[in-house]
Amino acid sequence: MKYQRIPAVGKEVDEKEVQRMADETQVAGINIGDAAIAARTEESLQRTEDMLYEGLKRGHDLPTVTASYLAQAGGKRFRPLTVFLAAQVVLAQNNPELLAEPLHENVIKAATVVEMVHLASLYHDDVMDEAEQRRGAESANSRWDNSVAILAGDYLFACASMFMADLGAEAVRITSQTFLELVNGQMEETIHAGDRGSVETYLSVIDGKTASLIATAGLFGAREAGADQTQQDAMHDAARAIGMAFQIVDDMIDIASDSDQSGKTPGTDLREGVFTLPVLYALEQEDEVGERLREILTGPVEDEALVEEALALLRNSEGMRRAREVVHNYRGMALEAISVFVESPARAAFESLIEFTVARAG
Ligand code: FPP
Ligand code: MG
């Protein structure tokens, strides 16, 4: 396409101009449509990065090294991004003059807490999943062993708690509640591993193990930017819907991608006997695909040839299409929740985050 209409600009510009504008408005691979917001968000991500590594230096070398390992391996920093975009949506409505300044230190601290808790959960998750890869690198349990990986996760949570204390009692309460939800979701998944389970149980699991923390990212961004209760609730709801979509897409990627794309080993859920949404739907199919999957997927799949066969069947299944539909429903919920905020470039940027999350589902 030679020309393209950019909604925020409202005029036609040529290809080169489109590319230049897109470069200036990209953050972490997402085109958020506004150069000033992109620059502030980028700067905030850098401050979080610095705070994260500084915050892991608490005078103990070995835990500092092992707990920094997964952060150094990469990652999208999706949760900090959610914090910053949520904060800017609120500022654009309540205190637009503050958008001329860098985001408040406490917004950065809240983002660091969320990322540290997330990283902690990944160390523990990789032990439980016996995962060999994470973020395109060796998982910590492979690089060292299970004990070191568990302790590195504990250390991250301890460091996150130090920052939480600076944010006050309410932030401690919110994060503790989130921790409860994370553990509950993960425990529900662990206890039901190998069971076919229901869509309802699956949704409850991912609400706990993933959406709860992304919801908290939205809530923290709103809170630390001075949102009132209605605004906090709206942002909490929007980010929770994003979190639900995010995990369903992640589960679809576990089926559809190769490890070069995802940095993880595809088929992990099948090997662990975790029945994710596309699988649950595909198992309901009244055709040859459904029939064969019902034969193969009776619990954790150990035979690699069967994992490959199931993945190939799932990739083109009706289950994937239905899961994509559910992702689109959560997209609608997130957009609806965010619609209570006045229209602004910041709100449009948050909407881009929603679209980015959904687009990964293909
Ligand atoms: C990844 O799921 C796992 C999570 C998002 C949450 C794990 C939660 C815990 C381990 C409990 C909380 C613990 C701490 C220390 C905060 P997945 O296996 O489907 O995703 P993956 O493909 O990225 O491995
Ligand atoms: Mg995992």
Please indicate whether residue 118, judged by its CB atom, sits closer than 6 Å to ligand 1.
no
Tell me the HSE value of 128 on the side-chain side, using a 13 A CA sphere: 17
Domain range enclosing 211? 34-359
**CA nearest ligand 1 atom 6, residue:** 209
Give the Å distances, CA to CA, from 229 to 80, 169, 225.
21, 17, 12
Give me the pLDDT at residue 214, please: 98
274 Cα nearest atom in ligand 1: 19
27 occurs within a structural domain = no
CB 107 within 8 A of CB 90: no
Give me the pLDDT at residue 21, please: 62
Query: CA-to-CA distance for 353 and 25, rounded, in angstroms?
Result: 13
Neighbours of ion ligand 2 (CB under 5 A): 125, 129
pLDDT in tens, 220-264: 999 999 999 999 999 999 999 999 999 999 999 999 987 666 667
Determine the angle formed by the axes of helices 304-315 and 318-338, rounding to 10 degrees: 60
14 occurs within a structural domain = no
Q: CA angle 302-303-304, nearest 5°?
A: 110
64 occurs within a structural domain = yes
Mean pLDDT of the chain: 92
**Strands 133-134 and 30-31, how do they pair?**
unpaired
Q: Read off φ and ψ for residue 122, nearest 5 degrees.
A: -70, -40
Is a pLDDT exceeding 60 seen at residue 2? no
**CA nearest ligand 1 atom 19, residue:** 251
Run of H or E including 138: strand 137-138
What length does the chain have?
362
**Strands 12-13 and 4-5, how do they pair?**
antiparallel
What is the whole-number distance in angstroms between the Cα of residue 122 and the centre of ligand 1? Answer: 5
**The model scores a pTM over 0.75:** yes
**CA nearest ligand 1 atom 16, residue:** 121
The residues facing 5 across adjacent strands are 12
246 occurs within a structural domain = yes
DSSP tag of 225: T
pLDDT in tens, 6-25: 333 444 556 666 566 667 89
6 occurs within a structural domain = no
297 occurs within a structural domain = yes
Number of domains in the chain: 1
Residue in 133, 146, 209 to alter for ligand 1 test, most ligand atoms within 8 A of Cβ: 209
1 occurs within a structural domain = no
Query: CA-to-CA distance for 347 and 224, rounded, in angstroms?
Result: 17
Lowest mean pLDDT segment, chosen from 206-215, 229-238, 266-275 = 266-275
Query: CA-to-CA distance for 324 and 173, rounded, in angstroms?
Result: 34
pLDDT in tens, 150-198: 999 999 999 999 999 999 999 999 999 999 999 999 999 999 888 888 9
**Locate tokens 């985001």: which residue?**
103
What is the whole-number distance in angstroms between the Cα of residue 206 and the centre of ligand 1? Answer: 10
307 occurs within a structural domain = yes
Domain with residue 56: its CATH number is: 1.10.600.10
Give me the pLDDT at residue 260, please: 62
Please indicate whether residue 121, judged by its CB atom, sits closer than 6 Å to ligand 1.
yes
pLDDT in tens, 30-71: 999 999 999 999 999 999 999 999 999 998 899 999 999 999
What is the whole-number distance in angstroms between the Cα of residue 348 and the centre of ligand 1? Answer: 30
Please indicate whether residue 250, judged by its CB atom, sits closer than 6 Å to ligand 1.
yes
